[in-house]
A and B are shown apart, each in its own frame.
Chain A
Amino acid sequence: MRDKELDEILDAGLKAYSAVQPRQGLERRVLGHVHSTRRFAWWHWVAVAVPVLACAVGLLLWRQSEPVQTRPATSVETSARAMAPVVRPVVVAKHVRRVGQTPKRMQFPTPAPLTREERALLEFVQRSPKEAAELLGETRDSEIKPIQIQAISIPPIKIENLEEK
């Protein structure tokens, strides 16, 4: 009898424990929150998309305004054809290079026309190749001599005071 009474009290108490009432208009607040968040989400996407698109367009424009990379001038040749005056391709820059920007070179050092001395040497080689070869051979022989190193002799250190003791 007592156990049944306790069960009844407990069941009633449990119902009361869970039967809490929210403030009025809970459904309205929930739906309002959901709709406001949905509207925010739309603007949120726009707010993200616009800067990203602007960055993409900016990057594209910047890449298009980059100077056109020309083929580098060929290296100096020792053949007769190389004797012809070097004609550098004329590059018409699309825009003025900004001050302080380091130019990007395809070949370093930049090829330059032969100097007067270089041209004279080349002419000499072409006219009298045998003499040039002999001269070159002499230079090479004189250059490739083995290095002579004298034997190093290090005398043992003698400390007079120590020996006396």
Chain B
Amino acid sequence: MARHAIKMPDVGEGVVEAEIVAWHVKVGDTIEEDDDLCDVMTDKATVEIPAPVSGVIAALNGAEGDTIPVGTEIVIIETDAAVEVDVAAGDSGASPGPAEDGKPASPGKDPEPAPHKSPTPAPAPIAQTQRSGKTLASPAVRARALELDIDLAAVPGTGPAGRVLREDLDDFAAAGGRLISKAGESGGANRTPKAGVTEEKVIGLRRKIAQNMEAAWTVPMITYVEEIDVTEVEALRKSLNGDRAEGQPKLTMLPFLATALIKALAGVPQANAHYDAEAGTLTKFEGVHLGVATATDKGLMVPVLRHAEAMDVWQMAGELARLSKAAREGSAKREELSGSSITITSLGAIGGITTTPILNTPETAIIGVNKMVERPVFDGAGRVVPRLFMNLSSSFDHRIVDGYECAVLIQKVRTLMESPARLFM
């Protein structure tokens, strides 16, 4: 029997550690070459680590959510072969994302190595290996669970091999864990209070988001809200969509807003910038790398429309469609998920009249799009007419962008949007 050690691969230049997002195997599993062992994540790109050889998983180091230094052995595979081999997973066909860090604001700055937590030797999978279908628990505990109407399978077991102990059941019951009531016993109306709680580890993308939000919260922000009459731009959008060519993507409002924003930013360049407070530098960009906040199953991601200033509305629509699909499918590359200079975030479809967007630091501005609504307005001649309105709720790094400048930028956007011909002049 030979042991293959698989190390945390170097998934990108300058990346010193990566987080284990999900294990696809457990100790004792028999695996074939190229089976996925686990997903690891750096920044926001997720990479699958395939098995370089066939064999049996002998050990897994690190639990889901653990951040592991590059080069650390994460999987040991026992094979029938006679030779012992060390494999860095990256050498064996894993396709890590592109190397570049993609953050223009911190050129040459080495990411600070986080304190290396030594990976714990595979204690985790034990609790999850209950395969027989019956929960591991003593007869007394099983009887008590039945008495309490508690499905033992729902009770986290802390005993050996995940066995549910009397204490586990008591804790679960005390927390109000009367979760199942078998059909037929409770009748139709099942309105028992549910005081149960579930605790889950904040890992992966959610942890990344939390960290980013925390970082952003140190920034003094100003949020500016304005309503924009989009009746005409909406009419234009519909008309363009009406005679779009075969295969052309459908236009949303976003490319129009982006076009207006790009034009307006020329007058307020400090809103298309990165501020590094520590270094005391403001990096203004000539081009506009537009981050578009996108909800995915795993959480919020921000694919980036690079050099949006060089695109027309159709190009933007095409690129946006491609990027959001990639982000939703988890196939977006690292460079496509980082390096924006300003961000647009939209809860438009869901509703809400105002939001207070949080900056995607180190950017200095974020533009929030609210839902388009039809409202009655006076037309200047004393008549009430229906018009379409859309609110923009935009936040700025108030250390860099003054209130006046916020207003100038957003008013410019409003003017452009309200007379859409100007967008294309």
A is bound by B: no
Chain A residues engaging chain B, CB cutoff 8 angstroms: none
